[in-house]
Homo-oligomer: A and B are copies of this chain.
Amino acid sequence: MSNGRDARPATLREVAEAVGCSVATVSRVLAGDRPVGPDLARRVQQAARDLGYLPNQVARALRSRSTATVGLVLPQITNPFFPSLMREVERALHEQGRALLLADSADDPALEAERVELLIARQVDGLIVAPVDQERSMATLAKAAARVPVVLLDRSVDEVQADAVTVDNAAGMRLLLEHLKALGHSRFWFLGAAGDASAAVERRAAFQDWAVRHAGFWRVELGDFSVRFGQHTAGRAVTAPAAQRPDAIVCANDLIAAGAVQRLRELGVSVPGELAVTGFDDIDLASLTSPGLTTVRQPNRELAAEAARMLAARIHQPEAAARAVRLTPTLVARGSTVVVQSPQGSTL
């Protein structure tokens, strides 16, 4: 008893035979790119419907040299920032009638290279990449950009001739630091991510630039974009000798900050009373820790929409000069720096 799966779907030719015309005609009716007699057209439509005809996109792609598919390469799907970005990218691409081929480079430049190669072999019309590393992703991206339109998303790589849409990390970091300064904080620990991802580098550099000029005391600790790193290092901040203890912990992203806040609660340190904490990204989680995280919001949707738009433009006009768009993030103040009135008036 067959379940009908092996009954292969109808082809253009079968529709043509059913109608009694040529495949060219059927194709024209369905594509609508050249006029066809009204009667014949109707019969073709009908036959296509009856046979449940679905155009084979693979064949179409082979002939027309366009798969209507773009590859998205992300460095760590685990980091909640990326799924939300991904969702917006998927939405924007779907509106363009393109599909999304997803690849995770797991923060590994070698894996990233492999994935990019695979996607190109699959003839994607373009690539949207959040590169793993400023340096070690360069070769991969340069090679990729020579074969297919590439848009860098969220993180950039200098010297690669490709469009890029990023967020102004330095401006975001300054927003946070000015906010803290206005609240009277002057002793900072910065919990940053090591490595050469552009977001990590820019946030780090922006912190240092500012701290050198305005901080009473500061110190930089490097780890990765993880909750665990935040937990661990926050513990060390509290037990450090008094001279090195901070009154604010500035984290390179929300995951680190969430870890820090949580550990501080466990240690009975009041946030923000004794120690303020800030994050970066404004992932969903940021409003759910307690206290909520003061952070900087990345304009997620705009980022994705702009990337999709740039990619479409470049696909349409491959030789145009590369553009770089930098969006501005906004400050979101919550309980980790400011004592907020809750709706019912209880503070904590």
Contact = CB atoms under 8 A, between A and B. Distances in A.
Given A58-B122, A84-B78, A87-B104, A290 B262 contact: yes
Nearest to A76: B87
Given A100-B102, A147-B5, A265-B290, A87 B91 contact: no
Interface string A271-288: 000000000000011001
Contacts of A4: 146
A288 B266 contact: no
B318 A266 contact: no
A101 B99 contact: yes
A172 B67 CA distance: 43
Interface in A90-107: 90-91, 94, 99-104
A211 B258 CA distance: 36
A178 interface: no
Contact of A78 (B69, B87, B227): B87
Nearest to A4: B146
A206 interface: no
Interface string A181-204: 000000000000000000000000
B121 A56 contact: yes
A140 interface: no
Given A100-B101, A344-B266, A120 B289 contact: no
A331 to B, nearest CB: 21
Contacts of A284: 80, 227
Nearest to A71: B99
Contacts of A348: 265-266, 268
A91 B62 contact: no
A266 B346 contact: yes
A5 B146 contact: yes
A288 B268 contact: no
A47 interface: no
A241 interface: no
Contact of A56 (B100, B123, B285): B123
Interface in A113-131: 117-123
B117 A258 contact: no
Contacts of A267: 342, 344, 346
A343 to B, nearest CB: 7
Contacts of A78: 83-84, 87
A57 B122 contact: yes
Given A58-B61, A58-B62, A227-B284, 4 more contacts: A5-B319, A80-B284, A100-B101, A266-B346
20 contacts: A3-B161, A3-B319, A5-B319, A9-B147, A58-B61, A77-B87, A78-B83, A80-B83, A83-B83, A86-B102, A99-B103, A101-B101, A266-B343, A266-B344, A266-B346, A267-B346, A268-B344, A268-B346, A285-B288, A288-B288
9 smallest CB-CB distances across A and B, nearest first, come from A83-B83, A266-B342, A268-B346, A77-B87, A57-B122, A102-B102, A58-B123, A54-B121, A58-B61
